[in-house]
């Protein structure tokens, strides 16, 4: 049996993914996680704090999965292309859920600095992931933007078609 904190985060992942941040209430999370209200507030002071923790856990999970998925590729070009294959794999696992960070970003006011900073850090880390692979800033940013738009388009159309096209573009861009 998982701990109350773990159950809260598991339910949060499911509910934020299905219903969105704004449509998910603390009482629903408490009920579905089968925890006492006091237990919830022992771990999280507010829904905003829960969201920050959810995004931090999601960040660790997502990058862990990406690095594991691409670990076998020593060739930088192949690792870059494999990163796009990772998106296809995640779409299969998560039914085209899209980017948790961008999904929440679309629901919060821009003055919610606490959540916004976590989202910005995730995107900065992703951008750095590509710049670490390709030492050309313009090229790595181009690939980063292809990657980001592939996530959005695949979620919108429930299709991996543009991920495949992006892979072909990356294959031509990198010598």
Report the CATH number that the domain containing residue 107 is assigned in CATH: 1.10.357.10
Paired tokens of 67: 């690095």
Look at residue 114 in the predicted model and tell me its pLDDT.
97
Q: Are residues 32 and 58 in the same domain?
A: no
How confident is the model over 13-26, as pLDDT tens digits? 999 999 999 999 99
Look at residue 50 in the predicted model and tell me its pLDDT.
97
Q: Domain residues for 3?
A: 1-44
Domain count, the chain: 2
Q: Are residues 111 and 126 in the same domain?
A: yes
How confident is the model over 54-70, as pLDDT tens digits? 999 999 999 999 999 99
pTM (2 decimals)?
0.94
**CA distances to 72, 131, 170 from 78, in Å:** 10, 15, 10
Look at residue 135 in the predicted model and tell me its pLDDT.
87
Count, in order, helices (H) and strands (E) of the chain: 9, 0
Q: Are residues 34 and 52 in the same domain?
A: no
How confident is the model over 81-130, as pLDDT tens digits? 999 999 999 999 999 999 999 999 999 999 999 999 999 999 999 999 99
Q: How confident is the model at residue 6 (pLDDT cuts 50, 70, 90)?
A: very high
Q: Which residues contact 174 (CB under 8 A, 6 or more apart)?
A: 76, 77, 80, 134, 139
Decide: 12 and 44 in contact? Cβ < 8 Å: no
Confidence check: pLDDT of 1 > 90: no
Q: Are residues 97 and 121 in the same domain?
A: yes
Look at residue 45 in the predicted model and tell me its pLDDT.
96
Look at residue 160 in the predicted model and tell me its pLDDT.
98
Q: Which residues contact 144 (CB under 8 A, 6 or more apart)?
A: 126, 127, 130, 131
| Separation CA 65–CA 69 (nearest Å) | 6
Q: Are residues 38 and 87 in the same domain?
A: no
CATH code (residue 8): 1.10.10.60
Look at residue 175 in the predicted model and tell me its pLDDT.
81
Q: Are residues 28 and 52 in the same domain?
A: no
Q: Are residues 86 and 9 in the same domain?
A: no
Q: Are residues 34 and 118 in the same domain?
A: no
Residue 73 backbone dihedrals phi, psi, to 5 degrees: -90, 115
């Amino acid at each position: 049996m998982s701990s109350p904190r773990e159950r809260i985060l598991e339910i949060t992942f499911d509910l934020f993914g299905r219903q969105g941040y704004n449509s998910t209430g603390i009482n629903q999370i408490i009920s579905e996680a089968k925890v006492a209200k006091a237990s919830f507030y022992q771990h999280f002071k507010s829904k905003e704090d829960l969201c920050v923790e959810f995004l931090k856990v999601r960040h660790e999970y997502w990058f862990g999965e990406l690095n594991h998925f691409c670990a076998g590729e020593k060739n930088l070009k192949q690792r870059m292309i494999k990163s796009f294959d990772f998106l296809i794999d995640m779409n299969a696992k998560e039914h085209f859920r899209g980017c948790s960070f961008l999904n929440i970003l679309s629901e919060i006011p821009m003055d919610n600095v606490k959540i916004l900073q976590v989202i910005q850090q995730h995107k900065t880390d992703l951008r750095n992931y590509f710049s670490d692979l390709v030492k050309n800033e313009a090229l790595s940013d181009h690939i980063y933007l292809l990657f980001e738009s592939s996530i959005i388009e695949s979620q919108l159309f429930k299709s991996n078609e543009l991920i495949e096209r992006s892979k072909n573009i990356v294959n031509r861009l990198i010598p």
